[in-house]
Structure 1
Amino acid sequence: MKIQKTILRRTFLIAAFILAGCGGKEATPDPQAVLTAAAETANAKMTELAMATPIPTDTPVPTATASPTPTETVLPPTTVAPTTLPAGSTVAERVEFVADVTIPDGTVFAPNQAFTKTWRLKNAGTTTWTTAYSLIFFSGEKMGAPSAVPLPNDVPPNATVDISVPMISPASPGQYIGYYMLRNPQGKNFGLGPNADQAFYVWINVAATGTVLASATPTGPTPTPGTPTPGTPGVTLTPTNTAAPAAVSNPTISVNTASYTGSCPYTFVFPIQFTVNQATAVTFRLEGGSGTPGVNLVLPADRTENLQPGIYSNQFELTITSSMSGWARLRILAPLDLSSPVVNFELTCQ
């Protein structure tokens, strides 16, 4: 509206100047005619201006289009392949017993009979056993075996090897167990179990002189636990559906001389024996007492052995300096509390 009034004023002024210029001094303009002409000129100018000026239209506000949020590319986590050890392994050098290739546990021999014991062992560690490794005698009854036997070939992890050792059965009847381990080139011994600190063994029985109950190199498959072969020497059939035996059972003790008369001091020897039904650590001791006032026994220290299934044999010694009578027994302290029957002995010093 303000624009229209401005245009109207300018139009009147222009018209007035034009009329004044055209008429000269001799003509006197008619005021009414001037106003009419000015009005017509203003209307025409406004019409021209209206046509020249576009009428604004309502421009729709553009709808805001959300810019797509860039999708974050999630990379899959990097998978690091774990270092896989053989099942149950916790150390680099460890043995797993596979089979008795020859001489099953409890095989019976005559005295002084030669035989060859062969174990099949598995490398359950992560280090290859080379021919610089050896099987070594560890403890128990050596039975004429060499102190060390080199491995016959390299044995990588998870592979097996058969190791043979020549032996001779002892001269006296009885039960005998020899314990063995492997030794690396640095002189470190290792064997069975999670910590590779348990020995494997050979276990035989020696019968009376002249009785031969076993072949020195028996053939055929080795009976596996729970499926013994009837008639195999030293193998006892286990009835099914029975309660599992205790870890240790049947402790026994004897004395070399129940009554001795002679010079003192004198050393009594007490052979002991018990059955190990599953691999375990066994703690045991010799217990005893004196029936003679003023005489006390000095008993040996407790012993602990890591043992494999079989019959374990050993002995205690007791040196006495004066006449007395006494008793002794074998006491198992762990993994359970178990005692043998008592044996009596008597010493008369001269």
Structure 2
Amino acid sequence: MRNFRKNSRNTIFGLIALILLGAIFLTGCSGLTSGDEVSKLVPTYAAQTLQALSVEQTITSYETLVAQLSQTPQVTPTPENAATEVVIPPTAQPTLTPTPTVQTVPCNWAAYVKDVTIPDNTTMEPGTTFTKTWRVKNIGSCTWTTDYDFVFVSGKAMNAPSRIGLPGTVIPGQTIDISIMMEAPDTDGTYAGYWMLADANKNKFGIGPSADGNIWVKIVVDTLPKVIFDFSEELCSATWDSSASRPAHLTCPGKETDDAMGYVLVKDTPYREDGGKENEPGLVMSPDNTSNTSRIVGTFPAFKVQNGDQFRAVVGCEYGSTHCNLSFSLIIQTAPEVQFTVGTWYEVYDGKYHAVVVDLSEFAGKEVQFMLRVMNNGATADNEGLWLYPRIIRNY
């Protein structure tokens, strides 16, 4: 571009000079010698010269514009600062102490521990009297007092009272055994009764995560077994002896005043030690009071056992025998002086009974004699024991 401008300028100057020279030459040739003529021609040539200069200026301006448009902008790089590594020390984090979750323990809350007697689905014959005992634990935050009750809620009561008081105080963490005398219904089937506890204000509570669950008893009544031997009816067909009477036998039935010799008699509607009246007969047996280990024994006539035969009864202290402390035993004699003690149960006056069921199948096919024994267990006074409805049943 620069060379183009230079060549253009040179060309213009050359043209001007050529024009001036031509003008002078033409003047000389045309014979114009006066000053006026020359002066007329000079402006014309000058104007033409100026016009040529204007062309050059235009070309110069054009060159300048083209140069400006052709220039590439130069970007001067800005030097970058060298990166400097900055180390930021870690910020100390405060130690967070977890807030403990406070577990609120209900005031009244129970836990089932075990069935002490009559586990679920125990089979028994219609009308059987039995004692159901549960063991429960106080897992609440309040103490259970004797103002607390064990109450029937629903199902089959089985002739049990609807409410009984707790036999003692139970602080949180302790267990207690709760016993109720019941009677199996007269009709075949499966029966269940549901129970809960209640505080002094009659507010019910129980087991489970919400403290509102029931405790229950569940039995199966089967009418097939038949009573084939009733010890109450055969009372005086047995021979009765006590530690004080030997070698003689006791009178049957005896009298309650025969403390020194011991006695046995039948009561058709005896009273249990919890005050309940029974509608089945019971044998009242009292050892003589001469020794802490005195005993009274009845030996019954021979009986042939069949497979599946069972001995059943309920044992406990008679109502009012407040110092009662006795052992009850069922003995089977297979030959003279050959005896087997098949069960022994201990009783004190605590409002509780034991249901007794003994399978006699191991003596099947044999003629045996049953012996009922009651023995003092450290006490001598007020020792009246009760065999409630002792009998042998057979499945047909």
Scaled by the length of structure 2, the TM-score of the pair is: 0.33
Q: TM-score, normalised by structure 1?
A: 0.37
Larger Rg computed on CA atoms: 2
